[in-house]
């Protein structure tokens, strides 16, 4: 099997079913089902009988509670058995008791629906389902198996002259005996599917009655969270690609253009042509400067080449408000964290410059207890609101994808403090001087 | 000696340099070839792009730093698309910081200025792009905090590789006044009175590292 089937239905829909481990799993499921079902029947009947007998002397009445709760262990065993043929997680529907102790436990169990569903399942299992399991095993496995052994029977018990097939028909010749054996093999193959369908149906019923749907939801949530991370990573990769394309394409061409214009200016005789060339040259220069800023905004190369520390220092350089930086990292965080942290700092500094009216700002941060943290504070007028359409809302989403936290405190009158932190490990920084 | 991966720019630069009376002994397209070609030709100056194959990160810059580690007197002019001081600081830290230049690629359009910068670097001077310097000017941190705005202005022009005379002309003051400013700067930055040119370079370095 190259790919693992999640459950028996998937397994049966694939061509290699008969040769895989699944027929064995299915057989084990039904076989253990028949055994535990019979055991459950004996157990429940015994408890009920004892309780019934004692009920006459009134002591038995409280003991009926034990009968009511008998579904719980049965369901527990059943959920474990489900793992044989279903890889999806199965969890119980029971709630965790609010307080420790037997009384609280009883109180919770007797009040919740799950207990009664499990009792219902236990009764159904003990009364009806395990005989179905046993019947399926007999018809789909034992009958064909006994047919396969016909030649063996003929050689041993029948002295080479005769054998009985399924205790019904008598076979007297070797070819017929082998024919029956081949037929038995074919029926075994068919039987495996019959067992699969039975086990599949049984597991669906069990899931419906005694398994919580949270397992599926949990799996979905995990998958959703993963796909969100993948999206952010794809988004990051895309930004880097655009940065690279612009750098290698448009930017180089513009440089070549300004160079050509510069050379042309050297050759041009003074006059209107030279003036026009000068103008064109200046425009090209402005375009180049604008493009450089644009590219830097898309994905700053200094972040890739030198890491977060240098990029944050650079962002502080660019801010019109003087910024003190106290931030040191002994290594490099993962790319996605680096980039999210950088853009949070940039956005915060932009807000400081635009709205706060601050004279000074401060960026500090580091890596402690497996968390990267960064704080941007200013001495401005405060009153910043993260939800009021600022770029921080989008950034908060990006931060939360990485399991990070973004907190903003900005009382009216200031000061404003923005703190972002991410759980992450640092990798050793590449040695640039090497 | 020229290293630039974009064919368009490489050809353009060869044309520009030859036109202004320089001989390009070798033009290569990646960092390894650059190191090999320097070994072979022993050029007067190396002009290189920051970002080059194979990784398209900052291989060109690193090759330049490595070359200078081996031959500290080799003049190197790095052409870049990045204003960030980190790149320039790494280059200026190589060797003693003299005979290096960090220019934005935009500068090749201003042919005369570019060629002037090229010669300055070849003669052992230090040139930092005005745009990079401009961004540094915004920073007000120790030890530059002690400098007056005028002194910072002067220091910025030193970083651009200008002589005292040129600075005086630009700020429309006497050359003596500039000399006084520079003296103050050097004292405030706590630079020992040794070789004069070298101290100018150290001042620029302090400026970039701050």
Q: Report the chain A residue with the minimal C-alpha distance to residue B16.
A: A263
Q: Count the neighbouring beta carbons within 10 Å of the beta carbon of residue B87.
A: 24
Helical residues (DSSP H) of B3-106, grouped into ranges:
7-19, 31-41, 59-70, 85-92
**What confidence tens digit (pLDDT) does each residue in A205-226 have?**
888 888 876 666 777 777 888 8
A367-370: Cβ within 8 A, 24+ apart? A367/A329, A367/A330, A367/A331, A367/A333, A367/A426, A370/A423, A370/A424, A370/A425
Token pair 């807000």 in the structure block, residue? A351
Provide CB contacts within 8 A for A353, sequence distance 6+. Answer: A319, A320, A321
DSSP letter string over B100-157? EEEEEGGGGGSHHHHHHHHHHHHTT-EEE-HHHHHHHHT---TTGGGS-HHHHHHHHH
Q: Is the CB of residue A115 less than 8 Å from the CB of residue A207?
A: no
| Residues in chain B closer than 8 A to A317 (CB atoms) | 84-85, 135-136, 138-139
CB contacts under 8 A, A 265-294 vs B, are: 265-266, 281, 284-285, 288-289, 292
Q: How many inter-chain contacts (A to B, CB under 8 Å) are there?
A: 102
Neighbouring C-beta atoms of residue A22, cutoff 10 Å: 25
> pLDDT tens digit string along B111-138?
888 888 898 888 888 888 888 877 766 6
Mark whether A100 and A18 lie in a shared domain: yes
- Residues A74-106: pLDDT tens digits? 988 988 898 888 887 677 778 777 777 888 888
CATH 1.10.10.10 in chain B, residue ranges:
139-209
**Do the chains contact at A247 and B12, CB–CB below 8 Å?**
no
Residue A206 lies in a domain: yes
pLDDT tens digits for B42-87? 888 989 988 887 777 788 888 888 888 888 888 899 888 888 777 8
Nearest CA in chain B to A300: B82
Stretch A137-148: mean pLDDT: 89
A157 and A260 housed in the same domain: no
Q: Which of A263, A292, A310 sits opposite B81 (nearest CB)?
A: A292
Interface touch A263/B87, C-beta < 8 Å:
no
Contact A318 B105 (CB under 8 A): no
The top-level CATH class assigned to B139-209 is mainly alpha
A27 and A79 belong to one structural domain? yes
CB contact under 8 A, B15 and A263: yes
Instruction: Find the CB nearest A255 among B83, B108, B131.
Output: B108
CB B73 within 8 A of CB B41: no
A225 inside domain: no
Residues A393 and A333 in one domain: yes
- Chain A interface, mutation test: which of B5, B64, B86, most A Cβ atoms within 10 Å? B86
Domain match, A309 and A293 both: no
B2-129 in CATH: which number?
Answer: 3.40.50.2300
Across chain B, mean pLDDT equals 81
Q: Cis before residue A80, ω within 30 degrees of 0? A: no
| pLDDT at position B196 | 52
Test mutation, A301, A304, A349, chain B, max B CBs within 10 A: A301
Using the Cβ of A224 and the Cβ atoms of chain B, whether some distance falls under 8 Å is answered with: no
- Minimum Cα–Cα distance from B57: chain A residue: A305
Query: What is the C-alpha to C-alpha distance for residues A314 and A363, in angstroms, rounded to an integer?
Result: 12
User: Which residue, A283, A298, A313, sits at the end of a domain?
Assistant: A298
In a domain, A91, yes or no: yes
Q: Give the pLDDT band (50/70/90) at residue A284.
A: very high
Q: Which of A260, A281, A302 sits opposite B12 (nearest CB)?
A: A260
- Pair of tokens at residue A419: 């703190």
Task: Identify the domain containing residue A422 by its residue range.
Answer: 303-428
Chain B: residue nearest A309 by CA?
B86
Out of A285, A318, A432, the one facing B109 most closely (by C-beta) is A285
Residue A221 lies in a domain: no
pLDDT band at A2 (very low <50, low <70, confident <90, very high): very low
Name the segment(s) of chain B with CATH classification 3.40.50.2300. Answer: 2-129
Q: Fill in the DSSP letter of residue A423.
A: E
Residue A245 sits in the same domain as residue A202: no
CA distance A328 to chain B (A): 15
Position B41 pLDDT exceeds 50: yes
Q: pLDDT band at B193, cuts 50/70/90?
A: low
């Amino acid at each position: 099997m190259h790919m693992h089937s999640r459950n028996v239905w998937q397994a049966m829909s694939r061509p290699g079913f008969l040769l895989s481990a699944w027929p064995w799993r299915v057989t084990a499921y039904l076989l253990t089902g028949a055994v535990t079902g019979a055991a459950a029947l004996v157990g429940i009947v015994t408890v009920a009988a004892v309780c019934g007998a004692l009920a006459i002397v009134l002591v038995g009445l409280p003991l009926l509670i034990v009968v009511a709760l008998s579904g719980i262990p049965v369901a527990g065993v059943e959920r474990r058995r489900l793992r044989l043929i279903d890889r999806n997680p199965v969890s119980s529907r029971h709630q965790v008791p609010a307080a420790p102790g037997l009384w609280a436990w009883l109180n919770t169990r007797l009040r919740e629906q799950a207990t009664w569903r499990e009792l219902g399942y236990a009764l159904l299992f003990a009364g009806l389902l395990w005989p179905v399991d046993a019947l399926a095993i007999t018809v789909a496995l034992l009958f064909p198996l006994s047919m396969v052994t016909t030649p063996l029977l003929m050689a041993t018990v029948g002295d080479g002259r005769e054998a009985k097939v399924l205790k019904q028909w008598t076979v007297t010749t070797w070819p017929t005996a082998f024919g029956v054996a081949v037929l038995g093999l074919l029926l075994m193959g068919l039987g495996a599917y019959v067992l699969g369908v039975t086990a599949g149906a049984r597991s669906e019923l069990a899931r419906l009655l005694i398994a919580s749907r949270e397992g599926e939801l949990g799996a979905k949530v995990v998958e959703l969270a993963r796909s969100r991370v993948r999206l952010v990573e794809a988004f990051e990769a895309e930004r880097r690609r655009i940065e690279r394309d612009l750098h290698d394409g448009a930017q180089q061409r513009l440089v070549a253009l300004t160079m050509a214009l510069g050379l042309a200016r050297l050759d041009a005789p003074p006059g209107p042509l030279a003036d026009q060339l000068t103008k064109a040259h200046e425009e090209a220069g402005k375009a180049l400067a604008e493009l450089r800023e644009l590219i830097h905004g898309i994905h700053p190369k200094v972040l890739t080449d030198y890491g977060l520390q240098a990029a944050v220092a650079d962002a502080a350089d660019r801010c019109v408000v003087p910024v003190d930086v106290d931030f040191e990292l002994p290594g490099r965080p993962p790319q996605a964290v680096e980039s999210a942290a950088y853009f949070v700092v940039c956005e915060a500094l932009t807000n400081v410059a635009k709205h706060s009216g601050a004279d000074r700002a401060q960026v500090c941060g580091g890596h402690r207890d497996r968390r990267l943290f960064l704080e941007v504070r200013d001495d401005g007028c405060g009153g910043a609101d993260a939800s009021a359409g600022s770029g921080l809302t989008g950034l908060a989403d990006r931060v939360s994808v990485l399991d990070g936290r973004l907190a903003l405190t900005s009382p009216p009158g200031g000061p404003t403090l923005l703190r972002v932190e991410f759980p992450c490990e640092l990798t050793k920084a590449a040695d640039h001087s090497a | 000696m020229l290293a630039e991966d974009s064919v368009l720019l490489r050809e353009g630069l060869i044309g520009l340099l030859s036109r202004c009376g320089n001989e390009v002994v070798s033009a290569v397209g990646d960092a390894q070839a650059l190191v090999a070609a320097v070994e072979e030709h022993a050029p007067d100056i190396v002009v290189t792009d920051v970002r080059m194959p194979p990784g398209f990160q900052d291989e060109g810059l690193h090759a330049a730093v490595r070359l200078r580690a081996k031959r500290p007197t080799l003049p190197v002019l790095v052409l870049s698309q990045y204003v960030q001081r980190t790149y320039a600081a790494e280059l200026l830290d190589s060797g003693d910081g003299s005979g290096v230049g960090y220019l934005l690629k935009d500068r090749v359009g201003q042919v005369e200025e570019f060629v002037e910068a090229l010669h300055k670097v070849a003669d052992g001077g230090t040139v930092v792009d005005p745009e990079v310097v401009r961004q540094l000017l915004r920073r007000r941190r120790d030890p530059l905090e002690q400098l007056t705005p005028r002194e910072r202005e002067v220091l910025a022009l030193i970083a651009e590789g200008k002589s005292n005379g040129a600075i005086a002309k630009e700020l429309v003051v006497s050359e003596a006044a500039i000399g006084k400013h520079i003296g103050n700067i050097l004292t405030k930055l706590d630079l020992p009175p040794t070789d004069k040119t070298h101290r100018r370079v150290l001042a620029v370095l302090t400026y970039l590292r701050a």
